Structure 1
Amino acid sequence: MNLQGKTILVTGASRGIGRAIALELAHQGAQRLILVARTYPRLVEVATEIEAFGVEAVLLALDLAQPREVNIAIAQAWRDYGPIHLLVNCAGVAYQAPFLQSQLPQVQEEIAINLMGMYTITRLIARRMAVQRQGTIVNVSSLMGKIAAPTMATYSATKFGILGFSQALRSELSVHNIRVIALLPSLTDTDMVRNFQWFRWVIPTTPQIVAQALVRGLQRGTPEILVGWQSYLAVWGNRLMPGMMERVSRLMAPLSEKQHILEQFKKAVANSR
């Protein structure tokens, strides 16, 4: 896909992977970026960086869990700035907790934003793309959409759902000349996960590397874009030896607080010898 002169909408654009993607698309020559997130002041900061590339930035402070607001805003944006050539669905939230200790409001928020919010905005834009008979949709899933992670049950479920949604749309929308791509980052060092207990032996990537991988995938026309060698290794391992990968996932899972304290105590004792 040639990004020169395109109008692109990015959700979750105020921070993390969404912000990095917006900046990389501006660097690649997009004409206009419509930035969607819940926090307006953060959007202003990103817009300032984007406009330094000579790219127009349009700010939409939206909660994707509110379908009526989204419907009105997208209709107005398409009328004023459309057609939108590329939609990047990056908005998402994640909470880490053992399933038996999970909190229902957090579970509901993950499903509302990660799945229903993505569904709502994609439906509105895809219908308009179908009339234009052109467009590209990128849905940001995760490596956890291929291999579920302990302590991230709901997040994993939503990311599996995004892959299924993307696969279905890829078949349905191809007749309207609309491409659907899934982006699968591995653990990425963003504000969202900084307070998490990270999985052992996993080397985090950066939002900038994810954004660059997306651009390369768009140029190649890849239906699913994996990021980093660890992702390829994990996906192929899961295909060839799913039982072993499940055991590895358990070993990599974050330690419980009790286990963590015990491990720190053992280290202290060892160091005192």
Structure 2
Amino acid sequence: MNIQGKVALVTGASRGIGRAIALELARGGIERLILVARDRTRLAEIAQEIKALGVEAVPLAVDLTKPKELDIAIAGAWRSAGPIHLLVNCAGVAHQSSFLDSKFLQVQEELSLNVLGTYGLTRLVARRMAARREGTIVNVSSLMGKVAAPTMATYSATKFAIVGLTQALRHELAPHNIHVTALLPTLTETDMVRDLHRFRGIVPTSPERVARSLLDGLAKDSAEILVGWQSHLIVWCQRLAPWLLAGIFRLSAPNLEERNFLSWKPLRDSA
């Protein structure tokens, strides 16, 4: 995809990978950016940074988990700032815990934003792209969408879902001249992961590197974009020697269940 003179919508644009992608698109020649997040203050800040680069920025404060509000917001943005040529679904949330100690409200939050929020927004934008027979959709998954990680069961499940959604839409939307790709970063230094217990031996990457990898992948029309040598190594290990990867996980994964065991009480059947 040639982004010169195009309009892009980026979710999760107020921080982390989404913010880095928005800035990299601005530097790369995008004409207009629609910036989506819930935090109005942070959105205003990133919009000012982008305008300083000579690119039009349209902040759009909306909650992706509220379908009616989202529908109205996207319809208005398409009329006033569109049509949208590039959609980057980057908004997401992660909670870490042992499975036995997981909190259902956190599980619901991850599923609601990471899966349903992405699905709902993509459906709204893809329908309009299909009518114009033009568009590119990037779904930001994770390395955990290829290789599930202990202590991150729900997050891994949502990112596997994003990879599956991407693969399905790649084939289904191709007749409408819509290209769909998945971006799969490894552990990235963002606010979201700051309080996570790290896997030993994993070297985190930067949001800026993830953003540069996205633009490189867009230029090549890549179906999937893995970020970093560790990601490629882990995926190949999963394919060729899953037993070896299982052993690596046992040695490197944080043992949260042990830490929380004293406070954990098993659920009992109501009967």
Structure 1 counterpart of 2:156: 156
SS in 1 for 2:34: strand
The residue number in structure 2 matching 1:61 is: 61
**Superposition deviation, residue 9 in structure 1:** 0.0
SS at match of 1:233: helix
**Which one-letter code corresponds to 2:41 in the other structure?**
P
Aligned to 1:114: 114
Structure 1 Cα separation of the partners of residues 50 and 155 of structure 2:
30
* Partner of residue 231, structure 1: 231
Report how far residue 249 of structure 1 moved: 1.7
Partner of 2:252: 252
CA distance in 1: counterparts of 2:46 and 2:17, whole angstroms: 12
**Cα shift at 1:258:** 5.8
Question: Which 4+ stretches in 1 moved above 3 angstroms?
Answer: 255-259
1:262 maps to what in 2?
A: none
Q: For residue 256 of structure 1, report the CA deviation from its aligned partner.
A: 3.5
**Cα deviation digits, residues 132-159 of structure 1 (max 9, x gap):** 0000000000000010011100000000
Structure 1 residue 23: Cα displacement:
0.3
User: Residues 189 and 206 of structure 2 are in contact (CA less than 8 Å); yes or no, is this contact kept in structure 1?
Assistant: yes
- Correspondence for 1:184: 184
Distance 1:174 1:251 in 2: 42
Q: Using the alignment, how far apart are the partners of 2:99 and 2:206 within structure 1?
A: 28
- For structure 1, list consecutive stretches of 5 or more residues without a partner in the other structure: 260-273
Structure-1 separation of matches of 2:77 and 2:258: 51
Aligned to 2:71, what secondary structure does the other structure show? helix
Q: Which stretches in structure 2 are left out of the alignment for 5+ residues?
A: 260-271
User: What CA deviation, in whole Å up to 9, does each residue of 1:187-235 have, x standing for no partner?
Assistant: 0000001111111000000000000000000001110000000000000
CA distance in 2, matches of 1:255, 1:99: 11
Structure 1 residue aligned with 2:3: 3
Partner amino acid for 1:234?
I
- Provide Cα deviations, 1:58-100, integer angstroms capped at 9, x if missing partner: 0111110000000000011111111100000000000011011
Matches of 1:249 and 1:68, distance apart in 2: 42
Structure 1 segment 26-37 matched on structure 2, within 5 A: 26-37=26-37
When the two structures are superposed, what TM-score results if normalisation uses the length of structure 1? Answer: 0.93
Contact 2:100 2:257 in 1 (8 A): no
Residue in structure 2 matched with residue 25 of structure 1 by the alignment = 25
Q: 1:257 & 1:137 partners in 2: Cα distance?
A: 38
The 1:158/1:257 distance shift into structure 2, 3 A limit, reads closer
Q: Output the CA distance in 1 between the equivalents of 2:257 and 2:102.
A: 15
Report the Cα distance in structure 2 between the residues aligned to 1:110 and 1:144, rounded to whole angstroms.
Answer: 14
User: 1:86 & 1:109 partners in 2: Cα distance?
Assistant: 26
Tell me how far 1:255 sits from its aligned partner: 3.6
Report % sequence identity.
64
Cα distance in structure 2, aligned partners of 1:208 and 1:8: 18
In 1, distance between residues paired with 2:13 and 2:112?
Answer: 18
Q: Residue 212 of structure 1 corresponds to which residue in structure 2?
A: 212
Number of equivalences = 260
Deviations 1:17-61 (A, max 9, x none): 000000000000111000000101000110111001110110111
CA distance 1:256–1:109, change in 2 (3 Å) = closer
Contact 2:101-2:257 within 8 A present in 1 as well = no
Question: Which position in structure 2 is the counterpart of 1:138?
Answer: 138
Which amino acid counterpart does residue 6 of structure 1 have in structure 2? K
Q: Deviations over 1:161-187 (max 9, x none)?
A: 000000000000000000000000000
Q: Does the aligned pair in 1 maintain the 2:62–2:69 contact within 8 Å? A: yes
